Chain A
Amino acid sequence: MSVLQTSELNKQGVNVSVIDKLSQRIKQKGVPVETFVVLLTALLWVVLSFASPYFLTEGNVLNIMRQVSISGIIAFGVLFTILIAGIDLSVGSVAALAGVVVAKLLVLGLPIWLAVAGAMGLGIAIGLFNAFAIFRLGIPAFIVTLAGLQAYRGGALLASDGMSVSGLPKAFSAFARGEFLGIPTLFWTMVIIGLILHFVLTKTRTGRYLIAMGSNQESARRVGINISKMTFLAYTLSAALAALAGILLVSRLSVGTPTAAMAYELNAIAAAVVGGASLFGGRGSITGTFIGALLFVTIANGANLLGVDPFWQMVAAGVLIAIVVYIDNVQKRRKSGV
């Protein structure tokens, strides 16, 4: 009724009624975190393109693309564990371990495809082990992957004697530095992986079952969804993508370091959550996660281009995470009807 009255009373009735409807919708359902983050990122890009003449230069946009690729790939994997109401804290360490292993294998003289396959195989094995410990042994995901955070980092240090592994073939480094149609190959890699995962998540039974499981594991079990399969899928995907990101990082840096990808698990979780994923499970998207990763990369890039004090940059990223987790909590409360 109020919509109708307002539009009748106002000369610009149509506009007002649209705004009115929108504000009603917001009152009823709240602003989805995704919308908020997309707007914030867009706003940041607009502001930065005015604030710095270098922001929208070709070189800088390519830098942002390369940078968001590796953190995006890790975040996509972590998103799948968050979707089933789990978590994967071990991705940074898995990336470092896979990176050191691929570098070691290359230095031993293995062909590139074999070295990459070996490191990827290790990542998959780690994911299967994580899922086994979580699902079969019943240890909480937080504990399993926190232990993994330590253990796989230790593995990376052991495999490398604590030193960086250099002397990699140029052809291996060439991949991460290459471009196709003017877009970095790293970015293509992320886009292709993202499209496939987006398709799986939104169009297939597997994606729907992951969301159902994270939303209400008991009801998913009752309708006959294979909870075990979904758990193994999510953790294996997470570790495999972390391994891939670790390999790509080595390709970009031309050196394998056991201390690489430190704290990347936090960035990945932050990207997924900022992109609308709920740490309580059942909610999240690939597009949102990409936007989340892009937002953090943009903040860091913008701060560098504007010469913002690095300490303030950390504070800004921290405040952003706090705000988004707060919104997530509000949503959870709304969901439980309080």
Chain B
Amino acid sequence: MSDLLEIKNLRKSFGPVDVLRGVNLTLHKGEVLAVVGDNGAGKSTLIKHIAGVYHQDLGDITLDGSKVDFASPKEGREAGIETVYQDLALADELSVGANIFLGREPIKKLFGLFPTIDNQKILEETENLINRIESHIPPKAPNVAGLSGGQRQAVAIARALYWKAKVVILDEPTAALAVMERDNVVKLSKLLASEGVGVIYVGHNLVEILDVADRVAVMFQGQVVHVTRSEDTTQEELIKYMTGFSETKVA
């Protein structure tokens, strides 16, 4: 597995508060890397730097071997970094297809003159995509407002998949979901990785993390304090690192 994303000595302060204190982390192509840590450990700040929402004070982010420095989330997105936020960020009044293609609609010319949205193509592609992720989303639903949390999550993930994102960041994707739907998200995350995407999976539920992730990175007080393959670790060990009671961290 090659290094898809490399983060070196990333530092960020908000006024007097040091939120990131030299983060080092590597993401490989085709893996699910879970990032865990207590509230305030710096998880959200870290992923917002990767997505281009925040700008680091110091340190480098390298994507596919070249340094990147995004001025906005839009630039990050164009470079192939897709974030699926906790609040899902779908336009409720638009259909599944319209959401997947929002901002990148295929165009056909009406009478060879007026550029119009090719809704037929959107519908076909959406149906293919839904089959591909083996989800039960109704492709023709007039809007996504009526979909369940899991279905909406699937739409957001399908969007990332379709647009061939290199890195997909899932920010607590199961936080608002019913237990039944969590398995589906775990399945979709693995599917993304199997398609060659590097997945960063931020979460709290350690059982779920150990199930979904290939590797786990633990953050504590603005640093990545431990990285391990998930089959080599246990919940208890992760909790130790998360709470700062590990032997390496006792100082």
Q: Tell me, yes or no, whether A and B come into direct contact in the complex with CB atoms closer than 8 A.
A: yes
Please give the residue numbers on chain A whose beta carbons come within 8 Å of chain B beta carbons, in ascending order. 29, 199, 203-205, 208-209, 211-212, 214-216, 218-220, 222-225, 282-283, 335
Contact of B91 among A199, A203, A205, A216 (CB under 8 A): A216
Known interface pairs A205-B105, A208-B105, A224-B103; A215-B91 also in contact (CB < 8 Å): yes
Residues of A with C-beta under 8 A to B98:
208, 212
**Interchain CB contact (< 8 A) of B107 among A199, A205, A209, A218:** A205
Binds A, one of B110-118, B188-196, B221-229, B237-245: B110-118
Closest to A205 in B: B105
A18 to B93, CA, bound (A): 27
Closest to B92 in A: A215
B93–A282 touching, CB < 8 Å: yes
Contacts of B84-98 to chain A: CB distance below 8 A = 87, 89-94, 98
User: Is B102 in the interface zone, CB < 8 Å from A?
Assistant: yes
What 0/1 readout, one digit per residue, does chain B (169-188) give for beta carbons within 8 Å of chain A?
Answer: 00000000000000000000
Q: In the assembled complex, which residues on chain A have CB atoms less than 8 Å from the CB atom of B80?
A: none
Q: How far does the alpha carbon of A223 sit from the alpha carbon of B156 in the complex, in Å?
A: 12
Query: 6 closest pairs, A vs B, by CB?
Result: A223-B103, A282-B93, A215-B91, A219-B89, A215-B93, A203-B116
Indicate if B130 sits at the interface (CB-CB under 8 A).
no
Q: Is B215 in contact with chain A by the CB < 8 A criterion?
A: no
- Cβ of B12 within 8 Å of any chain A Cβ, yes or no, is no
- In the complex, the chain A residue whose C-beta lies closest to that of B146 is A29
The residue of chain A having its C-beta at the shortest distance from the C-beta of B75 within the complex is A224
**Complex interface: chain A residues within 8 A of B115 (CB):** 204-205
Contact flag A216-B89 (CB < 8 Å), given A205-B117, A208-B117? yes
A204 touches B116 (CB 8 A): yes
**Chain B neighbourhood of A335, CB < 8 A:** 92, 145
Docked CA distance A212–B89 (Å)? 11
Given the complex, which residues of B lie within 8 Å of A205, measured CB to CB?
105, 107, 115, 117
Determine if B22 is an interface residue (Cβ-Cβ < 8 Å): no
Bound-state Cα–Cα, A205 to B118, Å? 10
Q: Chain A residue with minimal CB distance to B159?
A: A223
Complex Cα distance, B102 from A224, in Å, reads: 9
Residue of B91, B94, B104, B107 ringed by the most chain A CB atoms within 10 A: B91
* B132, CB-defined interface residue at 8 Å: no
Q: Bound state CA distance, A173 and B104, in angstroms?
A: 47
Give chain B residues whose Cβ lies under 8 Å from the Cβ of A29: 146
Do A219 and B77 have beta carbons less than 8 Å apart? no
A selection of 9 A-B contacts at a CB cut-off of 8 Å is A29-B146, A208-B117, A212-B93, A215-B91, A219-B102, A220-B91, A223-B102, A223-B104, A225-B102
A222 to B77 alpha-carbon distance, docked (Å): 9
For the complex, what is the distance from the CA of A29 to the CA of B107, rounded to whole Å?
31
- Confirm or deny: B138 has a beta carbon within 8 angstroms of a beta carbon on chain A: no
B73 touches A211 (CB 8 A): no
CA distance A225 to B94 in the complex (A): 14
Residues of B within 8 A of A208 (CB): 94, 98, 102, 105, 117
Contact residues, B104-159 vs A (CB, 8 A)? 104-105, 107, 110, 114-117, 145-146
Task: Give min CB distance, A250 to chain B, whole Å.
Answer: 33
Q: Judge if B8 is at the interface, Cβ distance under 8 Å.
A: no
C-alpha spacing A208/B117, complex, angstroms: 9
B93 and A214 contacting across the interface, CB-CB below 8 Å: yes
Instruction: For A203, give the chain B residue with the smallest CB separation.
Output: B116
Nearest-neighbour CB distance to chain B for A211, whole angstroms, equals: 6
Contact B94 A215 (CB under 8 A): yes
Across-interface contacts of B92 in A (CB, < 8 A): 215-216, 282, 335
- B249 touches A (CB below 8 Å): no
Is B74's CB within 8 Å of the partner chain A? yes
User: What's the minimum C-beta distance from A106 to chain B, rounded to whole angstroms?
Assistant: 35
New contact pairs (13) apart from A205-B115, A219-B102, A224-B103, CB-CB < 8 Å = A203-B110, A203-B114, A203-B117, A204-B117, A205-B105, A205-B117, A208-B98, A211-B93, A212-B91, A212-B98, A215-B94, A222-B77, A223-B102
Considering only CB atoms, which chain A residue lies closest to B73 in the complex?
Answer: A222
Distance of B102 from chain A, by nearest CB (Å): 5
Contact check, B91 vs A224: say whether CB atoms are below 8 A apart: no
Q: Give the distance in Å from the alpha carbon of A203 to the alpha carbon of B105 in the complex.
A: 11
Task: Please name all residues of chain A whose beta carbon is closer than 8 Å to the beta carbon of B89 when the two chains form the complex.
Answer: 216, 218-219, 222
